Each structure stands twice: as structure tokens, then as C-alpha cells.
A and B are shown apart, each in its own frame.
Chain A
Amino acid sequence: MEHNIYLYILVMAGVTYLIRMLPLALSKKEITNIHVKSFLYYVPYACLAAMTFPAILHTTASIYSALAGLIVAVIAAYRGRSLLTVALLACAAVFVVERILPFLH
């Protein structure tokens, strides 16, 4: 990592604060355009989905352990488990598969 982490943090914090502050400080009117509202509503889902796949496949030592983590996370999330539970179950799946894989080769 040749970038400065504190500069990254400053950029993140600055942009995030401005997004929150500007409408509060400047606005006297509410957004009524249904398409603008809908766009803002869909943004987090599109963004998180795009960040998850296919990046998740390359995050572990083997694509098989990553697939196991993905499948377990999808099932746990579908069943409405909490964020921490889903995350830990996905980690556990990766861990278990990576311990088993050497025996299969």
C-alpha cells in the first residue's frame, strides 16, 4: 500500500460529512421527484451487490473455499440472521473448506 491511510480516512470522512451536512444546512424544500427518491433508495443495494460479486471469489486462498463462504452467507442472510452471524458463518465455512481441501488433492 503506497497510499497514506490517514489521507484515505480524511477523504472518506470529508465526503461523507459534506453529503450529510449540505442538505441540512442549505435545504428549505423536500425532494419530491419520485425518480430521484427511487434512485437514492436503490443505490445502496446496487452498490453493495456490485462490491460483493465477483470480488468475494478472489478474497480467499482458493475459489472453492470462497464459493463455500458465498453459499453459506446467502443461505444465512436469506434466513434473516444478523450481520455478525452471517459474517462469522461465512468465515467458518471458508475456514473448514480450506482445512478439508488438502485431503482432496
Chain B
Amino acid sequence: MDLNVWILSLITWMPFVGALLIMFTARHRPRAVRLIAAVATGISLLLSLVAYARFDGDVDAARFQFYQKVALVPPLGISYEVGADGIGLVLVLLTAIIIFAGVFASWTVETRSQEFYALLLVLVTGVFGVFVSLDLFVFFLFYELAVLPMYLLIGIWGSSAQIRPRGLFGWAMRETGVGSKEYAAMKLTLYLLLGSAFILVGILALYMAAGGASFSFLEMEGVAFDPVLQRWVFLLFYVGFGILAGIWPLHTWSPDGHASAPTAVSMLHAGVLMKLGAYGVVRLGMGLLPEGTHDWVPLVGTIATINIVYGALSAMAQTDLKYVIAYSSVSHMGIVLLGAATLTEAGLNGSVFQMFAHGIMTGLFFALVGLVYEKAHSREIFRMGGFGRMMPGIATAFTIGGLSSLGLPATAGFVAEFLTFLGAWRSAHSWWLFPAVAGTFLTAIYVLRVVKQIFWGAVPAGGEFHDLPDARGPEWVALVLLIFVIVLFGVAPGIALGPIDTATVPLLARLGALP
């Protein structure tokens, strides 16, 4: 068995195997459940690192490596076809890191831990599958596999928030039950299924237009689609994947969903699933539809700048800690799409780098919010205070995450944002630079305000919060791993930019966007 051929399949299916093991062997043994989950995701993580090390960074040789193809339904041209280029490689690594950390961060889930971990692992297989699939049919199957378990995970293990129905649509908010976890789960699932309907139509349209012989991405890449078709299919992909990427104004599922989801699910969802959307736009939209891309990038980039500023301002307005982080994701996903829309090497590299960086830092954030909530039983920012003395470890980690979020140099967030700035200025719409930079300032305001309110100052009188414990054993694994990655990729961004560049340059060349 050649490892280079099998490695992506092993990474992808290992969590699924873990899920099966959990369902069939570890009934009512929570410790075994966690152990299996940790080992399965640990193997995926190790193998992703191996793949990373083995990736051939030579630009001409790069393209899709670790290639494997097994025909599934030959008459329809459906096959199990996987491979990873630089972009896929980095995102596979991201997924592996987040799920591994997520398992440790939710070490204390007690209720139905068997089902919880099984669903979580199945979901992760779906995510890995999306990033490595080169067959659009299988891609779509994996995509659905990544979205659907979310409904159960939020609906069963989630938590509800208090939101007062008000305003013009107050009656509608009351009727739909805004704030409850069931509401959030339903909203998220319906929204994302709506998106996948768009995507499915787009994929089928391309399949038909390409002759109906194959779903293979590599074969479709060679087809020059009709410009009018490209225009409409790109829009389908943009809206379909964009919903998952949290584009304004289709983003409102994400704050509710992330705030209601249990810790590991928020980590995975904001950290990785939103990247599926951005990845879809870049891979399928820009990769297959060069002329459609040129038609729509002005809109994509402009909406991305709205995301950045609007998301940051919304985050500033929140009083629930989890909502602050959730809205910060809306803002940061704007950087991802803005970078892509610049159609420049710097911008697109920044975009992919931000997918990675934001995944890690938002994973860290949600892990920390989960820990704070578990210990203080509160998410109300303005009722907390002075936690730094009681939980210095959590305070430090939160500050580092926050600094990365506001784009402080020597953290991964800076590299991503800076590259995007460069790209924005070199793009056809150089004004995009200014809202993007303004977004970093707004982020500095809301992040430091939250840090000051929760961790600094004095503990509020009343004795509600005293002797809160700091993070413990397994929880530290998640925090230390994520912090290490944030700093490492901030100090030595070349580790990720090397592979990324081998994928973005050919992509831009096909788009005719390289000088």
C-alpha cells in the first residue's frame, strides 16, 4: 500500500471509523468514547502533518498530489477521486487541528457523550471529504454529510439564549421562537440546505454543459463553458457557498447557530465549516468559471467589505460573549472573500491564509468561551469582571486569540490581513483597502473592550464569581495546541504560504489575472 496514494483517504475516513467504533464498542463507557475520539482524530492529525511534509512544493509539480481514483458509477462518470493541492492541504491540516483540539475542549460533555462524539466524527469525515474530493458528485455528498449532523448536535447538545422579540417583525420572531436552541438548529439547517440546493443546480448545470460524461473536477477544468452559463452558475455557487461562508445579508444563521452550539461544534463550525463555503467559491467558482468570476468579483469584494465592517460593528453591540465571537467570524470571513475577490497573488494567498488563521483563532475563542461558561455559568459580558486573577491561563489564551483577531503582528491573523490589504490595493477596486483596514480598528475596539471587561478590573461584588478554577488537564491540550499554531504561523508564515502559493498562482494564471 503506497502511503502517498492512500493518505488522504486515511485522513478522511479515520474519524468515520472512530465513530463506528464508538457506536458499537464503547456503549456507556464515556472514557473509552473520548479515548477513541482522541486517537482517531489524533491519527488524522498526524497523517495530515505527514502529508504536509511530503507535499512537493515545486510549483510546476505541485497541483493535485496524493491522487487516488476509484470508479463508482462509470456510466454516469461518478468516481471516488481525491487529491490535494496547496489550498486543500492547508485546509485539511486546519480541520485536523481543530477537531483534535475540539475533542479535548469538550472533554467534559456528559450527556449522551457516545452519540455526541459519533456525530462529531461523522461530520468531520464530511469536512475532510469536501477538501480532498475532486469529483463533484462525491464532493456534494461529503458536503451534505458535513452539514446535516449539525442539526442534531445543536438541537440536542446546544444552549439557548435570551432574545427579546421587538420591532416590525416582532410577531414573526415570537412565532419562530428566536433564541431557543431548536430555533437555531432549524435555522442553520434550513439555510444551509437552501444553499446546497443552489450548489446542486450549479453542479448539474456544469455536468450537463460539459457533456454529461464525468463529474471530475480535473476534466471540467479543461472545458471552456459558455460565458452566459458561467455568469449564472457562478452566481449560484456564490450564493450557495456564500451562505455557508456567512456573506451579508445571508449570514444571520451563523451568530444564532454558533451561539447555540456546544463548544466543539462551535469550534468546528466557525473554524472549519464556514471555510467550506469560501473554499467552494474559490475552488468551483473561480476554478471552473473564469469569465463568471470576472463578472461577479466587484460584487463579491464589495459585499466582503460590508461583511468586515458590519460584522465588526455588530460584534461590538453584543452583550453575550458567544455572540461577540460569532459576529467576529462574520467580520473575518469578509477578509477571506475580499482577498479572493482581489484576484491578485497577495490577496488570494491572504484569503487562503485567513481561512486557516481564522479557523484556528476562532476555534481557540470558542474553546475559551466554552471554558468560561462552564466555570462561571455566565456569558453576559457586563456581569463578569476580574477573572484574570482567578483564571490566568484562560485570560492569557483569550488575549492571544484576541490579538490575532485584531491582526497583531507575530500572530497568524496579521499575515492574512496584511496580504489581503496588499491585494486589495493592487486590485481593480483599490478602495476596498480602506474598509478592510477600518475593520481591524473596530476589531481592536471590541476585542480589547471584552478582554478588559471580563478579565481585567475588579471582580463584581455580590460573590457570584469567586474561586473560579482555571483550565485543567485535557483542556490545556486544546489551548496550547491552538496558541502554538497561531504564533508559529504568524512568525513563520512561509510554512503555509509555500504550499498555498503553488495552488494560487496556477489558478490566477487560468483566470488571466497574473501580470
Report whether chain A binds chain B: no
